[in-house]
A and B are shown apart, each in its own frame.
Chain A
Amino acid sequence: MPYDKFKITDIQSKLNIEVRKEAWLKDTFAPFGEDAMLLRLLEEAGSVFLGSEKARSEFIITPVLQALRRKNEGRFAIFSGYEFTIDKKAALNGYCDFILSAKADSLTLEAPAFFVVETKKADVDDDAIAQCGAELYAAQLFNERKGKPQEAVYGCVTSGLRGHSYACKQ
């Protein structure tokens, strides 16, 4: 059962994850600054048919992540469409739309993996939350196995227009 088959009840019963609402995002953030290239790309995206998850990933999500990378050159890596098989027996296998990790110069995912993005073409539903939750759980296992356990890993499910944010904590 890959990540996209998980239901909320599965991550609670099979992965022993407690799911709860918690306002862990701050209210205010330091200004990021304007990124002219991102503005241009998103403006162009407005004229593209965004009827698939792939289109939204390519024309909205990727430009946003690349803007983050431009400002933090060499600090982290972006893996897109990454096969993230951690434990097939536990059904922790499948593809993540995006995973961000340390080691910008590596060709393979290095610990810590700290952010997961799942793109959806419609509004976020319970199944999408469960999928992202399973991937975050797998990221925690990955980091532990690599000797770099994290207090929390983060993720979001987004349609490119709206999204939810998640933190998977020990």
Chain B
Amino acid sequence: MTLAIDPNFVPLTFKKPFPVLEVLQWILDMALPLQHWDSSALGRG
């Protein structure tokens, strides 16, 4: 197994947090592709 450390900082500032959200969205899309998303979960609870 490999722990790959990206040497680039992911900046998060109070004024412009969106680069972090863009990275998180990209990771989410890789980890949980939309075609596997059970949209029936919406609206529960």
Contact = CB atoms under 8 A, between A and B. Distances in A.
A36 interface: no
Contacts, number: 151
Interface residues of B, number: 36
Given A30-B25, A76-B32, A64 B6 contact: no
A58 B35 CA distance: 32
> Chain A contact residues: over half helix, strand or loop, or mixed?
mixed
Nearest to A115: B27
A42 interface: yes
Nearest to B26: A29
Contact of A161 (B3, B8, B12, B27): B12
Given A67-B21, A114-B27, A163-B10, A74 B3 contact: no
Question: What are the 4 closest A-B residue pairs judged by CB atoms, nearest first?
Answer: A114-B31, A29-B22, A22-B4, A74-B42
Interface of B: 1-14, 17-28, 30-32, 37, 39, 41-45
Given A16-B1, A21-B4, A65-B24, 18 more contacts: A11-B3, A15-B1, A20-B2, A24-B4, A25-B6, A29-B19, A33-B18, A39-B17, A64-B24, A67-B21, A74-B42, A75-B37, A104-B41, A112-B31, A114-B27, A137-B3, A166-B6, A168-B4
